[in-house]
Amino acid sequence: MSRTRIYELDVFRAICTITVLLGHVSSYPVGVLSTDSRFYGLYLGVNSFCRFAIQAFLFLSAAVLVHSYADRWQGPESALAMWRKRLIDPGIPYVVWSVIYTLLAIRRGRHIDFPTFLRLLATGKAWDHLYFIVLIFQFYLLFPLLLRALRSLSCRPVLWLGIGALIQAGFHMWDQRVFAIPNRASWAVRFGFYLFAGMLAGLDFDVLQDWTRRNRWAIAVVWAVSAVLNCSVSAAIRLGTPHRLSGYAELIVNVYAVASCLFFLAVSQWVTALNGWPMRAAMGISNASFGIYLSHPLGLAMWRRLTATGNPIFFHLSVWAGAVVVLALSWAATLWLKRFKFGWTLVGK
């Protein structure tokens, strides 16, 4: 039996999608501007603000998967059906876009032979954002085992979350103090806590909804404080300036990411309750989110080429205009492609 759709998660997905876009929009001026620029701090702040997006997307994906399958899971048959749907359907667009971005990299002068392409494909490194798809595929492959473990520990949520946190912390400590793990960003265990937390939330999302409603003001305070700390420490590390909390950067980022998940879930509840045009817009972005996610870096690359200028005012205007234009065009292109039989090979089903 299928479970009811949770509209708050659609709004949450839209927020994550826009945050990813803003992160990629702001990363360009952070990379090309002088640190003496009067707007450098703004771009760096926006980029640091967006550092919760991947963690939130993983939390969301885990919650949706458990919500969709937990009540109708029937062992190997369900696993095969889930793998067929969750690996093949997004897998083909992933390969297609990996080819597209590899050709773009070659056009920019990078030498990529076929073995190198296969390595990039396996690690999600054909372009900066594709590693997320590899993370999700790892989670899908492990999902049957994780679901079984979750059912065994569902009555002990603190222990379940603790195991997720230990897995993530263990990965970080091993990488930092024992052996530098190759392609560190491409391993799902790096985000173990968010996957475990999402799975727990997916079992009974109403429990989390009620908790966030009761504690929304405390969540907002923790989120605001952690956001300031995250931006401050991130800026210090980026600029190479001393900061008394630099040694706790990984912890601060994770506290900020967890607080952001809870805060934007509360925002999603508010938007859903309003049931106005923000809700309708969020639903539209959510339905097109996979296509937007895959295509927006190509749109940004084309926009930057078309609007290249030496005029500082036009540069800053083009950065923010590009965010709006690329979101609108990638959204429209996704909806348009979904009308065709094989459009899903580019934007998913």
- Angstrom distance (rounded) from CA 241 to CA 244: 10
What is the value of pTM for the model shown?
Answer: 0.92
What is the model's pLDDT at position 68? 86
User: What is the distance between the alpha carbons of residues 170 and 181, in angstroms, rounded to a whole number?
Assistant: 12
pLDDT the model gives residue 177: 81
* Residues 287-309 pLDDT 10s: 999 999 999 999 999 999 999 88
Which residues touch 234 (CB under 8 Å, ≥6 apart)? 44, 47, 48, 51, 249, 253
Q: Determine the pLDDT at residue 34.
A: 84
Place of tokens 């909804």: 209
Residue-wise pLDDT tens digits, 64-75: 999 988 788 877
Angle between helices 53-69 and 249-274 (to 10 degrees): 60
Cα-based distances in Å from 113 to 91, 103, 105, 116, 122? 21, 11, 12, 5, 14
What digits encode the pLDDT tens for the residues 240-256? 776 777 677 888 999 99
Ranges in the chain, pLDDT < 50? 1
Please report the pLDDT score of residue 3 as a whole number: 63
* Cα–Cα distance, 177 to 172 (Å, whole number): 8
Q: Maximum CA pair distance of the chain?
A: 61
In this predicted structure, what is the pLDDT of residue 1?
42
Show contacts of 83-88: CB within 8 Å, 24+ apart.
Answer: 83/140, 83/141, 86/140, 87/137, 87/140, 87/141
The predicted pLDDT at position 121 comes to 93
Q: Torsion angle, CA of 2/272/276/260, rounded to 10 degrees? A: -130
Do the beta carbons of residue 176 and residue 34 sit within 8 Å? Answer: no
